[in-house]
Structure 1
Amino acid sequence: MLTLPNLLTLSRILAVPILVALLWPVGGWFDYALAFALYCLMGITDYFDGYLARAKGTVSRLGVFLDPIADKIMIAAVILMLVFVDRVQGLHIIAALVILIREIAVSGLREFLASLQVSVPVSQLAKWKTTFQLVALGALILAGAVPQWPWVHTVGLISLWAAAALTAVTGWDYLRVGLKHMD
């Protein structure tokens, strides 16, 4: 249970309150720089927990359960904080909402399908969606550390919309699979 991959996953969950505190509005550019560094570290541990579990043959039920939860907690917390501090505002909130709604809906759908013993593998497009989400949120955090480079914020917003588009497409793909198993 306390394998290195599981500890890495748990560390991501435990790091979320620290990330939220660093993104809290009272902070300045240095807090955003620390938040960006922590966010990158969390992304790296996300890669390595899965890699190590597969490479060492230590994939566990706990890890399979916690990994997507850790991802969704991190993504949701960052999106909420970026909206709260106005890094994501106006119509861009729609892109953030698309991402949040899809993550919740797909989690529920996966749980439903798991009860039917139906597995839905992660598609290559869903991996691209995750990449765009991570880049978008990372750029939006980094933009708070480097306000003299407004293009970083622009890259974050463009990536957020790209992630939202891929999120909608992959969400629809999962829903189509799920509908086949509903009475």
Structure 2
Amino acid sequence: MKWNLPNILTVLRLLAAPAVAVMFLYFTRPYADWFALLLFVSAAVTDWFDGYLARAWKQETKLGTMLDPIADKAMVVIALMVIIGFSSWSPWLVLPATVILFREVFVSGLREYLGDTAGTLKVTKLAKWKTALQMTAIAVLFSQGVFEHYLGMSIYGMDTDLIQSILTGDEEDVLGLGWKIFAMEWSGRAGLVLLWFAAGLTALTGVDYLLKAMPHLKEGR
């Protein structure tokens, strides 16, 4: 095994995947949301850097080639698990997440079955866009959790009438309830839209890989 900077970044990203979930075990919200968001975004940025540096410095290795897609899938799967676990289990969130999880498991199974011929399923540019869109959607959904809990902290102890008076402008919005609600709602909507687009791209790449694998799945080959 060759330990160079690109490989170290990949391993750190792999370790960051379970750390995202651990944040919610050791920290209260919204601090857990903040830490998870920062950790996820930092790991997503290294996804671009490790590949770029490996190519630029000609340090591509078998270790990096193996770990890179594993780290990406671990980040996405664990982050989605956390988001769904702390959500209201809305079908609008669960359905695209299910498509993404199913595709990742299915393609991993295809690669394992194909063995030495798994090179047929090389990562395509579309698959890279899929991963980027998945990570962007997840980061936006994590930010929605941040706004939601800051809003909850701001309205703690207020009655419904007072909240309504602030939102209608009858009372001064000292705590910024208006922008917090706006940010919470639109980050949630944007995150869902991005996740659905990501699910569509994910399904498309899954079909693409299946079609490429079909010649190798025929009996008696």
1:107 aligns with 2:108: yes
Change (3 A) 1:24 1:136: farther
Distance, in Å, in 1 between the alignment partners of 2:71 and 2:5 is 15
Instruction: Map 1:27-106 to 2 at 5 A.
Output: 27-86=28-87, 89-106=90-107
Pairwise CA distance, 1:117: 5.6
The one-character-per-residue Cα deviations of 1:9-68 (angstroms, maximum 9, x if unpaired) are 111111223211224596212221221111111011111111111111111101101111
Please list every run of 5 or more consecutive structure 2 residues that lacks an aligned counterpart in the other structure: 149-179
Change (3 A) 1:26 1:4: closer
Please list every run of 5 or more consecutive structure 1 residues that lacks an aligned counterpart in the other structure: none
Which amino acid is 1:16 matched to?
A: A
Distance, in Å, in 1 between the alignment partners of 2:101 and 2:79 is 11
Q: Once superposed, which parts of structure 1, at least 4 consecutive aligned residues long, lie more than 6 Å away?
A: none
Distance, in Å, in 1 between the alignment partners of 2:89 and 2:72 is 20
Which amino acid is 2:31 matched to?
A: F
Partner of 2:13: 12
Pairwise CA distance, 1:128: 2.1
SS state at 1:20 partner: helix
Pairwise CA distance, 1:88: 5.4
Scaled by the length of structure 1, the TM-score of the pair is 0.92
Check whether the contact 1:8–1:45 (CA below 8 A) recurs between aligned residues: yes
Change (3 A) 1:158 1:24: farther
State which drifts further: 30-39 or 166-175: 30-39
Check whether the contact 1:143–1:152 (CA below 8 A) recurs between aligned residues: yes
Pairwise CA distance, 1:74: 0.9
Change (3 A) 1:109 1:30: same
Percent identity between the aligned chains?
A: 39
1:165 aligns with 2:200: yes
Pairwise CA distance, 1:4: 0.8
Check whether the contact 1:72–1:103 (CA below 8 A) recurs between aligned residues: yes
Structure with larger Rg: 2
Change (3 A) 1:141 1:23: farther
Distance, in Å, in 1 between the alignment partners of 2:117 and 2:139 is 36
